């Protein structure tokens, strides 16, 4: 519920302006474990296409839906992939590699051990984690156009990238239907398309990790996908410790490196979503180093010690809402 509320409030920003010739439309859908809301100016029928597309992708990528393609792959270890599974896997595997495995779409056995799949949270012992980690290696996925194979007990989890891919597919539909202005809030992954009807760019809120229904600041942008990964989105607490749903692929433990949230802003939903999860795992130094070598995105990183690190490309597009809460560090 917490996650739903946070996601819902994360970017329902002013879409209250006068219409620009076409009708303002709003549709919502619950999918991919979150609440999604899309607002756009255009024909009513486009909304159904968008929600239909999101549901279709959810029914391919879900790890828990017994009828999904990913479920069948995890069970049978081999499927003839849909075009979407094939495309998302190819893109994801390139990113897993580029990110040195900080993103690993075979993390599922470890996610299961911690109870994040069924909500029966628990702290597994080290041996359990070690044995689950043995099955984690994205190189155990083989993809070609008519076959996807999982080797060595690997299991697929597209949770880190699916919402971003869904954002990309929705943006294609909006563009094919001549929609020029839209705001997609796919629960932590927000796509802003075109400009607001008054010609100004969108302002996307960055949630306060300590109080996710508040914003610590806003990024002004157009035609970008803004994805945030935060420990606050899903976690449990045991003996005074917090265990979050983002897993450090090196240790099999929930990431615990002083990062509170990572927001990535880029032209691609899949990229933003993949990077927000992976850079969370990499930690501050790893994330900054990665950005130096791959500057095709911008970031806002919030740390537990209340510092806000922002990449140079968006410094001028960022506004802090409460200037004394975070110390801003520009890169």
Q: Decide if residue 281 touches ligand AMP (CB under 6 A).
A: yes
C-alpha dist (Å) from residue 232 to 20, 27, 330: 37, 26, 24
- Picking from 214, 185, 172, the residue whose alpha carbon sits closest to that of residue 15 is 185
What does 326 interact with, of Mg ion, ligand AMP, none (CB < 5 to 8 A by kind)? none
Angle 162-176/269-293 helices, nearest 10 degrees? 120
Q: Which one of the spans 5-13, 154-162, 264-272, 292-300 is the region binding ligand AMP (CB under 6 A)?
A: 154-162
Q: Decide if residue 160 touches ligand AMP (CB under 6 A).
A: yes
> What is the nearest approach in angstroms of ligand AMP to the Cβ of residue 18?
35
Q: Which one of the spans 48-56, 80-88, 153-161, 291-299 is the region binding ligand AMP (CB under 6 A)?
A: 153-161
Q: What is the DSSP letter of 228?
A: E
What does 111 interact with, of Mg ion, ligand AMP, none (CB < 5 to 8 A by kind)? ligand AMP
> What is the nearest approach in angstroms of Mg ion to the Cβ of residue 161?
6
Q: Decide if residue 92 touches ligand AMP (CB under 6 A).
A: no
Q: Decide if residue 105 touches ligand AMP (CB under 6 A).
A: yes
Kind of pairing between the strands at 307-310 and 327-330: parallel
Write the CB contacts of 215 (distance below 8 Å, at least 6 apart in sequence).
205, 206, 207, 208, 321
Q: What is the DSSP letter of 321?
A: S
Write the CB contacts of 282 (distance below 8 Å, at least 6 apart in sequence).
99, 102, 290
C-alpha angle with apex 242: 236 to 243, nearest 5 degrees? 65
What does 104 interact with, of Mg ion, ligand AMP, none (CB < 5 to 8 A by kind)? ligand AMP
What does 107 interact with, of ligand AMP, Mg ion, none (CB < 5 to 8 A by kind)? ligand AMP
What does 182 interact with, of Mg ion, ligand AMP, none (CB < 5 to 8 A by kind)? none
Report how many helices (DSSP H) and strands (DSSP E) the chain contains, helices first: 8, 17
Write the CB contacts of 313 (distance below 8 Å, at least 6 apart in sequence).
295, 298
Site for Mg ion in 259-318 (CB under 5 A): 273, 276-277
Which is closer to ligand AMP, CB of 73 or CB of 179?
73
Q: Decide if residue 276 touches ligand AMP (CB under 6 A).
A: yes
Q: Which residues of this chain interact with ligand AMP, rule CB under 6 A? A: 103-105, 107, 111, 116, 157, 159-160, 188, 229, 233, 245-247, 249, 273, 276-277, 281
Q: Which residues of this chain interact with Mg ion, rule CB under 5 A? A: 160, 273, 276-277
């Amino acid at each position: 519920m917490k996650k739903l509320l946070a996601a819902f409030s994360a970017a329902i920003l002013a879409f209250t302006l006068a219409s620009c010739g076409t009708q303002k439309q709003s549709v919502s859908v619950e999918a991919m474990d979150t609440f999604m809301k899309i607002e756009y100016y255009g024909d009513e029928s486009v909304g159904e296409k968008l929600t239909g597309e999101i549901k279709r992708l959810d029914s391919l990528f879900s790890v828990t839906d017994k009828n999904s393609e990913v479920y069948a792959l995890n069970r049978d270890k081999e499927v003839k992939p849909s075009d979407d599974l094939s495309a998302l896997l190819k893109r994801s595997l390139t990113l897993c590699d580029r990110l040195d495995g900080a993103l690993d779409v075979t993390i599922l056995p470890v996610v299961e051990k911690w109870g994040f799949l069924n909500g029966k949270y628990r702290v597994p012992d080290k041996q359990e984690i070690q044995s689950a980690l043995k099955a984690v290696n994205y190189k155990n996925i083989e993809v070609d156009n008519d076959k996807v194979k999982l080797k060595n007990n690997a299991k697929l989890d597209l949770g880190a990238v699916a919402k971003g891919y869904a954002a990309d597919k929705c943006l294609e539909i909006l563009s094919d239907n001549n929609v020029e202005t839209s705001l997609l809030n796919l629960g932590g992954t927000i796509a802003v398309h075109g400009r607001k009807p008054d010609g100004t760019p969108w302002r996307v809120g960055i949630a306060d990790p300590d109080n996710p229904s508040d914003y610590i600041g806003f990024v002004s942008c157009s035609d970008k996908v803004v994805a945030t990964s935060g420990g606050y989105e899903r976690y449990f607490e045991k003996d005074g410790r917090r265990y979050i749903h983002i897993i450090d692929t090196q240790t099999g433990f929930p990431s615990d490196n002083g990062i509170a949230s990572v927001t990535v802003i880029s032209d691609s939903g899949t990229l933003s979503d993949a990077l927000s999860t992976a850079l969370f795992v990499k930690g501050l130094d790893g994330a900054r180093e990665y950005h130096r070598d791959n500057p095709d995105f911008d970031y806002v990183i919030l740390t537990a010690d209340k510092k806000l690190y922002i990449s140079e490309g968006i410094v001028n597009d960022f506004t802090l809402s409460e200037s004394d809460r975070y110390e801003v560090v520009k890169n």
